[in-house]
């Protein structure tokens, strides 16, 4: 159950469906943590409506007032068969860091796109070789390198993980406090919803973790020495380079037009994405506002112009016997608002947002007002062509 107000406050509330007992409430305001809690009267009223509807075999999906939106979500089966509420409340504390990171203003976008947030390291082949070697020796087919929530390299088994686990696992690692090593039980919503796997993480550098999904073996104490010495010491400099890439996502020498303020590249078949607003320059809106503009534009183009899955509109048109006419590009010229301009007068007036799609790849750009509108499609097409080899 979530509530969002016009002041930017978001509350995520979890209740026991049978009793209405609050299990947790997490809040944020303006993208930052907040200690504000929902009044108990609101909690009780919402749960009363839910229970009244349940008795009539009616499911309440949402409720709206002039300034709030309330959404009730169905929990997992384990949460509906509560044997000890206090024990469950204690167990749920382990999820707070992940839940809070989803509520706060994030540099990641996988929660929206359901594509794995990635970065493109310059020495990807070396890192991939080291990762494959340690995964084989440890006996795990699910291994990845994660830099502050973004996947740097991963085994084929890791890429075969379905959504949402492929998105949430690196997000979880990026949300947890820095720790040299972890042995963390995780449930995979699709792969293993009732029996936990072991998520082993080893910090190679602060902010860069080796992650592996394992069964009962091997013990974490047996993995750590061999990993750090044999496999990763020879590629220490490429590992350090990955951390420098984390905010930008692209190698320092990668050619990006100076008018581009932010980009979102998705490979819809591989379910991978690259999202960055750290492309140099201080003109225009703040990085936070750039991320919000690109996220909003993604929602717009996905809902009105481009299909949510690659090829879905073409296949539907062919099934109906009609021509396959699918939009390949669209753009929006934004107005200036105090929020998106960070309080300044109008340096962002006329910001351009452009999207192009070619095959399984979709590219969204936030472009400076000085870039001519008639050249947006060409700029986006050239940028997509340059980015294709890396994703």
- Asked whether the predicted pLDDT for residue 48 surpasses 80, the reply is no
Task: Give tens-digit pLDDT for 119-162.
Answer: 988 888 899 999 999 898 888 899 999 999 999 999 999 999 98
Task: Give tens-digit pLDDT for 215-269.
Answer: 888 888 878 776 778 888 899 999 998 888 877 888 878 889 999 999 999 999 9
Percentage above 70 pLDDT, the chain: 78
220: CB partners within 8 A, 6+ apart: 181, 183, 200
Beta bridge partners of 26: 12
Residue 206's pLDDT is 93
Task: Give tens-digit pLDDT for 60-109.
Answer: 666 665 555 547 333 355 555 667 778 777 777 778 888 888 888 888 99
Question: Are 132 and 236 within one domain?
Answer: yes
Cis peptide before 337 (omega within 30 of 0): no
Is 251 part of any domain? Answer: no
Is 292 exposed, middle or buried (CB count within 10 Å of its CB: 0-12, 13-18, 19+)? middle
Is 386 part of any domain? Answer: yes
CA separation (Å) from 327 to 49, 267, 316, 355, 357?
Answer: 43, 17, 14, 10, 8
Question: Are 49 and 172 within one domain?
Answer: no
Question: Are 286 and 329 within one domain?
Answer: yes
- Cα separation, 297 vs 275, in Å, equals 13
| Contact yes or no for 9/36 (Cβ under 8 A) | yes
Q: Which residue has the higher pLDDT, 200 or 10?
A: 200
Residue 356's pLDDT is 95
Question: Are 364 and 316 within one domain?
Answer: yes
Q: Which of 245, 270, 293 is the last residue before a domain boundary?
A: 245
Is 253 part of any domain? Answer: no
Question: Are 295 and 265 within one domain?
Answer: yes
Q: Which residue has the higher pLDDT, 218 or 373?
A: 373
Residue 306's pLDDT is 83
Q: Which of 89, 105, 121 is the last residue before a domain boundary?
A: 105
51: CB partners within 8 A, 6+ apart: 20
144: CB partners within 8 A, 6+ apart: 131, 151, 152, 153, 154, 155, 158, 169, 170, 210, 211
- Asked whether the predicted pLDDT for residue 163 surpasses 90, the reply is no
Question: Are 271 and 385 within one domain?
Answer: yes
- Cα separation, 34 vs 12, in Å, equals 12
- Asked whether the predicted pLDDT for residue 275 surpasses 90, the reply is yes
Question: Are 290 and 340 within one domain?
Answer: yes
Mean of per-residue pLDDT scores for the chain? 80
CA separation (Å) from 385 to 117, 265, 332, 391?
Answer: 20, 11, 21, 11
Report the 3 state secondary structure along 253-296. CCCCCCCEEEEEEEECCCCEEEEECCCCCCCCCCHHHHHHHHHH
Q: Which residue has the higher pLDDT, 122 or 6?
A: 122
Cis peptide before 160 (omega within 30 of 0): no
Structural domain of 371: 260-390
User: What average pLDDT does the segment 22-40 reach?
Assistant: 72
Question: Are 99 and 123 within one domain?
Answer: no
Is 21 part of any domain? Answer: yes
Q: Quick one: pLDDT band at residue 347, thresholds 50, 70, 90?
A: very low
Residue 277's pLDDT is 92
Is 254 part of any domain? Answer: no
- Asked whether the predicted pLDDT for residue 340 surpasses 50, the reply is no
Residue 51's pLDDT is 72
Question: Are 175 and 198 within one domain?
Answer: yes
Residue 53's pLDDT is 73
Taking Cα atoms as reference points, which of 308, 316, 301, 312 lies closest to residue 380? 301
Is 172 part of any domain? Answer: yes
- Asked whether the predicted pLDDT for residue 178 surpasses 70, the reply is yes
Question: Are 127 and 216 within one domain?
Answer: yes
Residue 66's pLDDT is 59
Q: Which of 65, 86, 105 is the last residue before a domain boundary?
A: 105
| Contact yes or no for 318/311 (Cβ under 8 A) | no
Give me the CATH number covering residue 151: 3.30.450.30
Residue reference for tokens 């919000």: 292
Is 8 part of any domain? Answer: yes
Of the listed ranges 69-78, 98-107, 198-207, 318-327, the one predicted with least confidence:
69-78
- Cα separation, 10 vs 104, in Å, equals 9
Which tokens go with 193?
A: 């919803």
- Asked whether the predicted pLDDT for residue 336 surpasses 50, the reply is no
Question: Are 167 and 270 within one domain?
Answer: no
According to the per-residue pLDDT averaged within each range, which of 171-180, 222-231, 319-328 is highest?
171-180
- Asked whether the predicted pLDDT for residue 316 surpasses 60, the reply is no
- Cα separation, 225 vs 235, in Å, equals 16
36: CB partners within 8 A, 6+ apart: 9, 11, 27, 29
- Find the DSSP H helices in the chain: 40-55, 77-80, 85-92, 96-103, 110-113, 124-138, 156-159, 165-175, 220-226, 236-245, 287-304, 312-319, 376-387
Question: Are 280 and 349 within one domain?
Answer: yes
Residue 61's pLDDT is 64
Is 252 part of any domain? Answer: no
- Cα separation, 116 vs 311, in Å, equals 20
Q: DSSP letter for 81, please.
A: S
Which tokens go with 76?
A: 């997992």
Domain tally for the chain?
3
Give me the CATH number covering residue 288: 3.30.450
331: CB partners within 8 A, 6+ apart: 352, 353, 354, 355, 373, 376, 377
């Amino acid at each position: 159950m979530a509530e969002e107000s016009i002041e930017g406050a978001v509350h995520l509330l979890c209740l026991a469906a049978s009793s209405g007992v609050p299990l947790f409430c997490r809040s944020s305001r303006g993208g930052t943590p907040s200690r504000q809690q929902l009044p108990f009267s609101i909690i009780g009223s919402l749960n009363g409506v839910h229970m009244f509807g349940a008795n009539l075999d009616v499911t309440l999906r949402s409720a709206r007032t002039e300034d709030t939106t309330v959404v009730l979500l169905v929990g997992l089966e384990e949460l509906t068969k509560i044997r000890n509420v206090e024990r469950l409340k204690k167990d749920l504390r382990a999820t707070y860091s992940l839940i809070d990171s989803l509520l706060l203003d994030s540099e990641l976008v996988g929660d929206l796109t359901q594509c794995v947030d990635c970065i493109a390291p310059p020495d990807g082949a070396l890192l991939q070789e080291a990762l494959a070697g340690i995964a084989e020796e440890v006996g795990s087919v699910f291994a990845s390198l994660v830099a502050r929530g973004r996947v740097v390299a991963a085994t084929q088994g890791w890429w075969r993980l379905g959504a949402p686990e492929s998105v949430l696992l690196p997000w979880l690692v990026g949300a947890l406090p820095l720790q040299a090593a972890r042995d963390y039980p995780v449930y995979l919503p699709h792969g293993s919803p009732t029996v936990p796997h072991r998520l082993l993480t080893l910090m190679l550098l602060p902010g860069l973790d080796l992650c592996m999904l394992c069964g009962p073996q091997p013990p974490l104490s047996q993995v750590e020495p061999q990993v750090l010495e044999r496999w990763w010491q020879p590629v220490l400099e490429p590992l350090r380079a990955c951390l420098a890439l984390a905010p930008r996502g692209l190698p320092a020498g990668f050619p990006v037009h100076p008018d581009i303020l932010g980009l979102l590249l998705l490979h819809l078949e591989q379910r991978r994405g690259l999202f960055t607003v750290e492309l140099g320059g201080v003109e225009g809106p703040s990085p936070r506002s750039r991320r919000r503009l690109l996220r909003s534009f993604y929602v717009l183009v996905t809902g009105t112009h481009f299909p949510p899955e690659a090829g879905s509109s073409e296949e539907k048109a062919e099934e109906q016997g009609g021509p396959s006419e699918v939009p390949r590009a669209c753009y929006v010229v934004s107005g200036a608002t105090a929020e998106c301009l960070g309080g300044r007068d109008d340096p962002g007036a006329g910001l351009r947002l452009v999207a192009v799609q070619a095959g399984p790849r979709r590219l969204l750009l936030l472009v400076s007002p000085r870039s001519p509108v008639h050249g947006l499609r060409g700029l986006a097409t050239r940028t997509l062509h340059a980015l294709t080899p890396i994703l």
